[in-house]
Amino acid sequence: MQSRPLTAQRAAPLAGAVRVPGDKSISHRALMFAALAIGQTRITGLLEGEDVLRTAAAMRALGAHITNPAAGEWHVCGAGIGGLAEPDDVLDMGNSGTAARLLSGILATHPIFSVMTGDASLRRRPMARVMDPLAQTGARFAARAGGRLPLAITGTGHALPIDYRLPVASAQVKSALLLAGLNARGDTRIEEPIPTRDHTENMLRHFGAALTVERDGPGRIITLAGQPELRAADVIVPGDPSSAAFPLVAALLVEGSAMTIQGIGLNPLRTGLLRALAAMDADFTIANERVEGGEPVGDVTAAATRLIAADTPPELAPSMIDEFPILAVACAFARGTSRLRGLAELRVKESDRLAATLALLIANGVRAAIDGDDLVIHGTGAPPEGGGHVITHMDHRIAMSALVLGSATTSPVSVDDTAFIDTSFPGFCDLMTSLGCRFA
């Protein structure tokens, strides 16, 4: 992929009403569950970014019939639980850790051999966190040192159910284990110490699986009955709240702005950023709340705000893990010292996202430091100087956060590469410039 450097200059006041692309987490899952169901599923609003297109290609390679008759509309004729076929070639998951980890759960409990790889960034990301518990099903794995891709999987035709307590909060690991449990005899039982995004559970119910969720102190216990017959069920994909975070924060930071983002997913386990911004006195409102495809949705209107510092507790992290870089940008403009707590998971994202976020801030005149698993940011209540050059490390969220930062700093901010933005937010630059941003 050819690199695309870009520079963000101070923006005009942002104004307008926009929609962001479909939710990436739900898009991945919709394709996977539809491929495991009997009958034809119609998916509308699917995110057509590179990450999700890799999932579509993988499910086709495994035997599902997938067509794309119109923009954002996809039809999937599934093969049924246990009905996937051995792929003829290596499955290339590009930059998507979500796709690779979730798909490993499906492949573990099908009696086929498969190999997954990805781009340079994905090949650096550890897979042991899913390989180790999935081995309890009877599947066998072979990977590079440190549990890194390429990964060879020899699936089992006699899968054992898993009873597992997650050592850390991870929706990807939980989802991989539940997907494996679909083709296991008996009940798969997952304990999560802190609730994580529950799109997998919602979609299991939507497609007809028998699943229960019990509270267990602050956490939850999820039990899935194995070998259901999933039935085709149409899916409406809401706007991705992680993508909406960028124009939302830009509107809060660019003086004179007032704009609306329509049709955002408002799943309570994905709205940590909204809760954090509300505690920072951010000026935003939610209207037209409704339910679409089993997920709560609404329209968010935001206006420029003088923010106060944030102090986010560790238990909030799972509900906003992808939004911390852009929240850190907001904290750089806030009055006072912010502390974003419990960010260990950021170290194993597309980049060491915690270190990359710190470097982004420091390069642009913001006083900040990492303290254990916390990020501490000293804001002055005024826009930072900017003027820095940001190294993205092939991380789309670092690139977008840097461009938002540069839209409100005194001096322009340059970014070494924006090519990877399309993996999660196709059309990002066009959308932001339509609102008033200036990229060159």
Strands (E), 325-388: 335-340, 367-371, 374-380
Nearest alpha carbon to residue 281 among 305, 257, 316: 305
- Say which amino acid occupies 112: I
Helix (H, G, I), strand (E, B) or coil at 404: helix
Q: Is 339 exposed, middle or buried (0-12, 13-18, 19+ CB in 10 A)?
A: middle
Is residue 172 within a helix (H) or strand (E), and if so which, with residue range? helix 171-181
Nearest alpha carbon to residue 315 among 279, 347, 282, 276: 276
First to last CA, the chain: 20
The dihedrals phi and psi of 137, each to the nearest 5 degrees, come to: -75, -20
Neighbours of 382 (CB within 10 A): 10
Calculate ∠ Cα 233-239-243, nearest 5°.
135
State the number of CA atoms in the 13 A half-sphere of 119 facing the CB.
17
Paired strand residues for 151:
116, 143
Describe the strand order of the beta sheet including 413-415 as a list of residue ranges: 389-390, 413-415, 6-9, 438-439
- The maximal CA–CA distance of the chain, rounded, in angstroms, is 62
Annotated active-site residue in 23, 119, 322, 374: 322
Residue 143 contacts residue 95 (beta carbons within 8 Å): no
The answer to whether residue 322 is catalytic is: yes
Helix axes 324-333, 396-406, angle to 10 degrees: 20
Q: How far, CA to CA in Å, does 367 sit from each of 189, 208, 249, 333?
A: 45, 51, 20, 11
For residue 277, give both structure tokens: 């911004």
The residues, ordered by sequence, that sit 6+ positions from 245 with a Cβ below 8 Å of its Cβ are: 273, 322, 323, 326, 327
Is residue 359 within a helix (H) or strand (E), and if so which, with residue range? helix 353-362
Helix axes 272-279, 241-253, angle to 10 degrees: 20
Report, as residue numbers or ranges, the catalytic residues.
322
